[in-house]
Amino acid sequence: MSLAKDIAKQILSYFPYRYMNVGKEFYEWMNKFENMKTMTYEQIREAQFISFKNMVRYAYDETKFYRQLYDAHGFHPDQLKDWSDIERIPIINKAMVKKSGMDIVAAKYRNKRLHIGSTSGSTGTSLTLYSNRAVNQREWAATCFLWSKVGYRPGDGRVEFRGLFVGDEEYKIDPYHRVLRVNVSKLTKDNIQQILNLIQELGYEFIHGYPTSISLVSKLILEGNLVNQYRPKAILLASESVFDYQINSIRMAFPGAKMNVHYGQSEKVVTAGWNVDEVGYQFIPLYGYFEMDSSTNGIIGTSFINDVTPFIRYELMDVASPVAESANREGYMFPTIPSIDGRVGEIMYKPNGAMVSSALVAIALRGTKSVTACKLIQHQLNEIEMLVETTQSEKDVTEDTIEVMQRLRSIFTDEMSFKITVVDHIPREPSGKFKYVEVRIDREGVPI
């Protein structure tokens, strides 16, 4: 950022947030989401189908990728008459999008200045993504709508524990966006008190970040007997699978704080929120259309907000628990799913080389209370090490993980050798995210 722009943002930070940081697109979509509260399920479904049809027609007319794909499969947007016709539309995946290059970008935007980003690469390959200010404003409207359930309003200050932090600073204050960004890699028992004091001075009442990062903050607070020194209104969790042990440690460190878990993607395909005390993840039906692959439980989505790079029936590679049918027709947020359990492409192996989905492993890790982070490392076909980060004694952790080990043995068989290693800290990825599964061999047992 140039010095002039930096100075300008500093000046603009003193203006009311609603005038400077958000625009017309934000309010149009925020109103669209808010209006769902007064609509019936049938009215929302009708509006959702209209959005779906419009996006399919738009993608066919505006992109070479979809026009060629649909023509090759004998599909035309005019054939889309009702929900049953969606099955005519071919499903796409990340490899297809990556290969398409700019052919999947809408023609009306190709020669305009676009925001360039990428996916995290957690599936082994990163995907270049294109968007613009309007798309990002729609995304922010959806996020604020989900967060509003725990009291967040646009412009409320928040403390971020997430993402790649360039530089050696312990924190950065961004008054323009009302954000304090804390460098999790620099966070220790020696400076946690200083960070809490700074948050108090700024008056920010919301914490936002990766579950593993906020679990680390919780661990330092519990170890330093600093509970109740800072009492946020809510914890806003994002971008990772969430485990019971993380929720437990966060609750102990921040008693009384509400907790919201956000589900979304860099591609901006579908989005959902889960207030931890409620049933499960509830999707915004006018943001995108949610489907589930019946054979893999993988999520398939169609975005209604991303008109720069349309994503229609796109495999997200995330595995979800089956839709809670009893909650599927209640309220203005649907469908409801109990949990999102991991990635389709992340696998471990049984001693005989049979594959085990990390989503199944994620389910087995539920239920511990003394843990702040947990990671499984497969060193050999018959050897898995479980790293456990905790604030308690090794004896307490061992007792707490007995049930987890029983579930893991039922998955990997009794031929698997398990070793529990208790550590003070499990390193996070450079991006700030945390991989709870690491496989160091291939299916034949050869180191990789």
In DSSP notation, 259-313 reads EEEEE--TT----EEEETTSSSEEE-TTTEEEEE-TTT-EEEEEESS--SS---S
Residue 124 has which token pair?
């082994």
pLDDT of amino acid 81:
96
pLDDT value, residue 12: 37
Between 17 and 395, whose confidence is greater?
395
pLDDT at 121: 52
pLDDT at 8: 40
Over range 130-136, report the average pLDDT. 95
Q: How far apart are CA 257 and CA 10, in angstroms?
A: 31
Decide which of 344 and 91 is more confident: 91
pLDDT for the residue 429: 73
What confidence tens digit (pLDDT) does each residue in 19-60 have? 446 788 999 999 999 999 999 999 999 999 999 999 999 999
Q: Is pLDDT larger for residue 139 or for residue 167?
A: 139
Q: Where are the alpha helices (DSSP H) in 112-173?
A: 133-147
pLDDT at 431: 64
What is the reported pTM?
A: 0.82
Whole-number average pLDDT of the chain: 87
Q: What is the CA radius of gyration of the chain?
A: 23
Of 19-28, 103-112, 183-192, 235-244, where does mean pLDDT reach its minimum?
A: 19-28
Residue type, 167: G
pLDDT category, 172, cuts 50, 70, 90? very high
Please determine, for residue 413, whether its predicted confidence score (pLDDT) is greater than 80. Answer: yes
Look at residue 120 in the predicted model and tell me its pLDDT.
Answer: 58
* 222 DSSP assignment: H
- Pairing state of beta strands 288-292 and 340-343? unpaired
For a pLDDT cut of 90, what percent of the chain falls above it? 59
pLDDT-based confidence at residue 3 (cuts at 50, 70, 90): low
Task: Report pLDDT for 327.
Answer: 52
pLDDT band at 2 (very low <50, low <70, confident <90, very high): low
Is the pLDDT score of 165 beyond 50? yes
pLDDT for position 20: 46
> Per-residue pLDDT for 150 more than 80?
yes
For residues 234 and 231, what is the distance between their CA atoms, to the nearest angstrom?
A: 9
